[in-house]
Amino acid sequence: MKTPDNWEDPTPVPLVTSCKQAARLVSVSFERRLTLREWLSMRVHLMMCRTCTFYSRQIRALRAIFIRHEENLSRTPPSDEEKLTDQARDRIQKTIHTCS
């Protein structure tokens, strides 16, 4: 079965998947709840494939790090170096208005 280019494509998933399809399902599982067939397909593959199991663990660890980092950033106000200049803010606003 050909893997869809669009990772959110709800194409039917075979119970035996390729590593590419399993990686897609691991990633999609963070965005939405998988269907039973998708979940079973992913779990069966992860039981058989050490590489994809490692990938899944790494993605989960990175996600946890990003979530913690995001919480820290939301509590810390930006420094003067991180703030946009008035000229940059004006250029962004002009670009947004021309694209609308």
For 3-32, write each residue's pLDDT tens digit.
Answer: 445 555 555 666 667 899 999 999 999 889
Q: Is the dihedral of CA 14, 15, 19, 22 positive or negative?
A: positive
Do 18 and 3 contact (CB within 8 A), yes or no? yes
Single-letter amino acid, residue 41: S
For 48-100, write each residue's pLDDT tens digit.
Answer: 999 999 999 999 999 888 888 877 767 777 777 778 888 988 888 888 888 75
Identify the pLDDT of residue 80: 75
Model pTM score: 0.56
22 CB-contact burial (10 Å; exposed 0-12 / middle 13-18 / buried 19+): buried
Identify the pLDDT of residue 13: 61
